[in-house]
Amino acid sequence: MKLFVTGGAGFIGSNFIRHILGKYPDYQVTNFDKLTYAGNLDNLSDLVNEPRYSFIKGDVADETRVNEILGQGYDAVVNFAAETHVDRSIHSGARDFVITNALGVQTLLDAVRKFDIKKMVQISTDEVYGSLELDDPSQFTEDTPFQPNAPYAAAKAGGDMMCRAAFKTYGVPVVVSHCSNNYGPYQFPEKLIPFFIFKALRDEKLPLYGDGKNVRDWLYVLDHCAAIDLMLHKGQAGEVYNIGGHNEKSNLEIAKIILRELGKSEELLTFVADRPGHDRRYAIDPAKIERELGWSPKYDFATAIPETIRWYKEHQTWAKKLETRKAELNPHIK
């Protein structure tokens, strides 16, 4: 299979490329990434001499460039390309998020249709569903209506709806995932778990929004990669699959786990003003993908989170290089 992976220099995308090349010895992967501040080719430095892997710099919203490359012949597209940081979508503006997360998706869908590509997998988020209350026992299913509350989530929902329209109108063979919060190696340091880890390592305060009780369902990144693999090979065109880890934790719980693993005092915890439109709880019901594709999470949180914390502790130079690059490329982003 000749596979076109967009956003492959990011957190989940780089883990997925490594997963695919390790599992399928006859597959070829092209990594197409704009290399914004969160795109980091160091994430795939071990593949530099891999003949089945190639990198092309480009933007998924650039129709001419996308058509030029996909016109060369690919079997499938997996789209990780996205602006993902919720706080930036709120405080720095939503324009970039709409361009990449909605227009970029439409650009890929048009190319998949034009060149008769056999499958596209769109990687989305549970945030499109909105928020659940802490005392609400329900979970998000594939039939839960979209109610995005942050600009990031609204832009992702727009891309997902374009996938639905492309399938319903033209029969474009696209499948969509809605996954819960990922954790694991190579995640950009602005995200909650690495952000708190590096704060704790420097004995700095860990800022928790509001009361810290906002709940997320945490999924190890390699479990997510395995689910995407199944969607790519077995997922039915036009279908949506929710991917969750059966692992709901509050932000406060996550912070305390990190402090405990690093031998730091809980005095580093501090509570700050809540962010606008902060969703209270996400909870994914992955029954459909478990039932129809045979997926289930393999990594136990109690084992994987200490290993994740250890990885970041041992890769502080990697993180410092990313922060320096972020400052150089986007000095206005804080």
CA nearest to 28, candidates 9, 6, 3: 3
Find out whether 166 and 172 touch, Cβ atoms under 8 Å.
yes
How far apart, in Å, are the Cα atoms of 108 and each of 183, 198, 294?
Answer: 27, 36, 28
Annotated active-site residue 142? The verdict is no
* List 33, 110, 126, 229, catalytic entry: 126
Give the Cα separation of 161 and 329 in Å (integer): 31
d(CA 71, CA 120): 15
Q: Residue 161, Cβ neighbours under 10 Å: how many?
A: 15
Closest alpha carbon to 68 in 60, 292, 218: 60
**Is 63 a known active-site residue?**
no
How far is it between the farthest Cα atoms of the chain?
57
Q: How far apart are CA 8 and CA 38, in angstroms?
A: 11
Residue 144 in contact with residue 285, Cβ under 8 Å? no
Packing angle, helices 104-114 and 63-70, rounded to 10: 30
- Looking at 53, 74, 129, 152, which residue is catalytic? 152
Catalytic residue among 33, 110, 127, 248: 127
Angle separating helix axes 192-201 and 301-314, nearest 10 degrees:
50
R_g (Cα) of the chain, nearest Å: 19
168-202 in b/e burial notation, b at 16+ Cβ within 10 A?
Answer: eeeebbbbbbbbbbbbbbbbbbbbbbbbbbbbbbe
- Tell me if residue 127 is catalytic: yes
Distance, in Å, from the CA atom of 76 to the CA atom of 121, rounded to the nearest integer, reads 8
Query: Are 30 and 74 a contacting pair, CB within 8 Å?
Result: yes
And the tokens for 153?
A: 């989530």
Tell me how far apart the alpha carbons of residues 143 and 239 are, in angstroms, rounded to a whole number.
Answer: 11
Catalytic residue positions, numbered? 126-127, 152
